[in-house]
């Protein structure tokens, strides 16, 4: 894959043919799971509905906690392991030294890709989720353009 951005609609198997996908709203978690775990849209939709109790057309509430539990309990998504990417208890904070002073920083999309250039990840920013696969953002156009969004949680799928 090349660096950059791919629309989840272009990446996810079966999304263009899915009548369910055409009628859905607030399905960023479904698309992130489908992209990172290499699932077709309808299968990912069913997985998110069953696992996270998501209702059609609604967001996926408690997603981060649910993903942490999947990881801790050794559960898989489409036969792939779920691993918490934890920095300061998954708040995605890290320290840098600027002019001799230690400063706390929040991981952004750009810094996440730099630190994790290989692999499939589901990432969460405030109120939204998308996938990053081998350094390529898979999601909405804004996800690929706004590389300074602060990541609040991330999980490796694979």
> What are the residue boundaries of the structural domains of the chain, listed by start?
4-157
Give per-residue pLDDT as tens, 6-65: 999 999 999 999 999 999 999 999 999 999 999 999 999 999 999 999 999 999 999 999
- pLDDT value at position 91? 58
Say if residues 94 and 85 touch (Cβ distance below 8 Å): no
- pLDDT value at position 3? 64
Q: Could you tell me the pLDDT band of residue 92, with boundaries at 50, 70 and 90?
A: confident
Interstrand relation of 136-139 and 4-7 (parallel, antiparallel or unpaired): parallel
Instruction: Say whether pLDDT at 88 is over 60.
Output: no
- pLDDT value at position 46? 97
Say if residues 154 and 131 touch (Cβ distance below 8 Å): no
Mean pLDDT value across the chain = 91
Residue 112 in tokens: 């996440």
- pLDDT value at position 87? 52
Q: Could you tell me the pLDDT band of residue 2, with boundaries at 50, 70 and 90?
A: very low
Read off the pLDDT of each residue in 145-153 and give the average, rounded to a whole number. 91
- pLDDT value at position 1? 41
DSSP 40: B
Read off the pLDDT of each residue in 68-81 and give the average, rounded to a whole number. 95
Strand partners, 137: 5, 132
Say if residues 91 and 152 touch (Cβ distance below 8 Å): yes
Q: DSSP per residue over 84-124, as a string?
A: E--STTTT-EEEEEETTEEEEEEPBHHHHHHH--SSEEEEE
Instruction: Say whether pLDDT at 122 is over 90.
Output: yes
């Amino acid at each position: 894959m090349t660096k950059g951005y791919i629309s989840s609609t272009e990446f996810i198997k079966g999304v263009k043919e899915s009548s369910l996908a055409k009628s859905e709203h607030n399905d960023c978690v479904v698309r992130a799971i489908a992209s990172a775990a290499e699932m077709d849209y309808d299968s990912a939709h069913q997985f998110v509905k069953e696992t996270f109790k998501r209702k059609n057309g609604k967001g996926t509430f408690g997603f981060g906690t649910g993903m942490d539990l999947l990881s801790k309990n050794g559960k898989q998504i489409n036969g792939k392991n779920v691993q918490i990417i934890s920095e300061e208890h998954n708040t995605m904070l890290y320290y840098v030294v600027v002019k001799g002073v230690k400063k706390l920083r929040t991981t952004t999309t750009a810094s996440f890709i730099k630190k994790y250039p290989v692999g499939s990840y589901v990432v969460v920013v405030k109120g939204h989720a998308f996938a990053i696969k081998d350094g390529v953002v898979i999601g909405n156009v804004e996800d690929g353009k706004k590389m300074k969004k602060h990541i609040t949680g991330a999980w490796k799928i694979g």
